[in-house]
Amino acid sequence: MSLRLYNTRTRSVEQFVPLRDDGVRVYVCGLTPSAEAHLGHARSFMFFDVLRRYLVHLGYRVTFVQNVTDVDDRSIEASRTLAKPWYEVIEHFFGSFKRSMDRLGVLEPDREPRATAYVPQIVELIAALIATGHAYAVGDGVYFDVKSFPRYGKLSGRNVAELRVGARIAPGEEKRDPLDFALWKFAKPGEPAWASPWGEGRPGWHIECSAMSHSLLGEPFDIHGGGEDLIFPHHENEIAQSESVFPAPMANFWMHGGLLQFDGKKMSKSLGNFEPLSTLLDRHDPQAIRLLFLRTGYRKPMNFTEDAIDSATSGLRKLYAAYDLLRSAPPREADGATVTPFRERFFGALDDDMNTSAALAALFDVAGAAPQLAGEGGGPQAAALLHEALELLGISPHRRARLPAGDPLAAAGPALLARLREAFAEVAEADGDVRAAIDAAIAIRNRARRNKDFALADRVRNLLADGGITLADSKEGTTWTAASGG
């Protein structure tokens, strides 16, 4: 079995064969950091992260490029309303995005080119488009002439004549055809501007991807990815630009992720119906969010609810518990064959157009069989499989989340400390912080338990519970956890 992927270009699942022997080249359309990123972005980038990890696992040398469109109309708008330079707006949102990606365990792209760093290449590409009759300069900028590219609409299945029916030319735009799109926009006073042969201005959306993928990967490269909403017009326009000038098709595989919905509607900047990813990650385990997304096929639309994250969190705990059990099981007669069926199911599912849902089901079956596997001496093999598989999915048991950022005791801590001091002389005397007080209370309770004074033991448990502290007894002793959010 080998990897098969759905290709938007051909609308079918195809065998994935790298174009060159020396590696696989992937270009994913990244963020335009003109606003906070949301969970929908996370879903998309996380999927391509898993795809990338799997390609590496298959032995390919992968070059993974994800661009940053660091200049656009929206960030210029934001700079006016926030009274900050446009580049500070960009840096703010991009920094926030990068931190979120890091928390989600999304690996750094090999290259993360910024549009503004590729202006010379962009200008060069536009010049070539003009020279070959595919673009023209007018009063407000340079436009791509859609009529000059007969294949326009092929990727998205659009009919140019039908598109033209509803299309309008906005006031101030001097393009000749409503379908034509901007390659270069001349700067109005106060707007960011770069020099070009046609006048000072900035790149239009779309052209940066053609210029940067050409510079970094060439044509054709293996996989071009992005969200489903990029198929039209973004990717259609990229194809028109690139393929008008470069002799080869732009990319071999075009892959698109399904959109995340909130409340039955797509999350989007214009609807504003989302919570910033950064604050959502303060409340939930990033690995649970990964698990949640991987449970649904990447091409399917998916509705987001916080309950779903909670359910994924439970599932994650189950996988980790099984991993811990298997790992500590005594190795006996090495018999790798016992985990082979699970292994084949897991990798077979990924080969089948990245069916992470079915792959995960195989891992949950390993978890279900963990006690048996451990008993039969298959623990180490099964643990190794789980580790390898979970690492591939980016939910490694070795990087499981500790408590979310921020001290969960910060809010409720002082009140709890006061209460403990009031209730127990021993705690009052110990001059410590909340944590020390909790430890002291636990000591009191454990002494009470040994003395069979369960009324006192329960009083301690309840007192701590009121402060958001949950106790758990085990053979190794008593541990506590603080409810997040205090």
Partner RNA sequence: GGCGACGUAGCCAAGUGGUAAGGCGGAGCUCUGCAAAAGCUCUAUUCCCCAGUUCGAAUCUGGGCGUCGCCUCCA
Among the residue ranges 76-84, 230-238, 330-338, 410-418, the one whose residues contact RNA (CB under 7 A): 230-238
b/e per residue, 143-167, with b = 16+ CB within 10 A? bbbbebbeebbebbebeeeebeeee
Q: State how beta strands 221-227 and 251-257 pair.
A: parallel
Options 109, 141, 220, 297; binder of RNA; rule CB under 7 A:
297
| 148 touching RNA, by CB under 7 A | no
Distance CA 40, CA 343 (A): 30
| 266 touching RNA, by CB under 7 A | yes
Options 228, 388, 391, 426; binder of RNA; rule CB under 7 A:
228
| 74 touching RNA, by CB under 7 A | yes
Please compute Rg for the chain using Cα positions: 28
Site for RNA in 393-422 (CB under 7 A): none
| 10 touching RNA, by CB under 7 A | no
> In the complex with RNA, which residue's Cβ is closer, 83 or 165?
165
| 484 touching RNA, by CB under 7 A | no
User: Per the structure block, which two tokens stand in for 275?
Assistant: 């919570």
Q: Residue 18 to residues 31, 340, 352: CA-CA distances in angstroms?
A: 26, 27, 17
Site for RNA in 24-63 (CB under 7 A): 29-32, 38, 40-41, 43-45
Q: What residues does 23 pair with on adjacent strands?
A: 20
Spell out the residues 6+ positions from residue 155 whose beta carbon is closer than 8 angstroms to its own. Answer: 8, 9, 231, 232, 235, 236, 239, 254
**Closest to 66 measured CA to CA, from 32, 37, 34, 28:** 28
| 202 touching RNA, by CB under 7 A | no
| Closest CB 223 distance from RNA, rounded Å | 14
Options 279, 432, 454, 466; binder of RNA; rule CB under 7 A:
454
Site for RNA in 366-385 (CB under 7 A): 367-368, 370-372
Bond from prior residue into 220 cis (ω within 30 degrees of 0): yes
Distance CA 205, CA 122 (A): 11
Where do we find the tokens 């940053």? Answer: 68
| Closest CB 350 distance from RNA, rounded Å | 11
| Closest CB 12 distance from RNA, rounded Å | 10
Distance CA 138, CA 132 (A): 17
Site for RNA in 92-121 (CB under 7 A): none
Residues in contact with RNA, shown as a per-residue x/- string from 323 to 342 under the rule CB under 7 A = --x-----------------
> In the complex with RNA, which residue's Cβ is closer, 233 or 379?
233
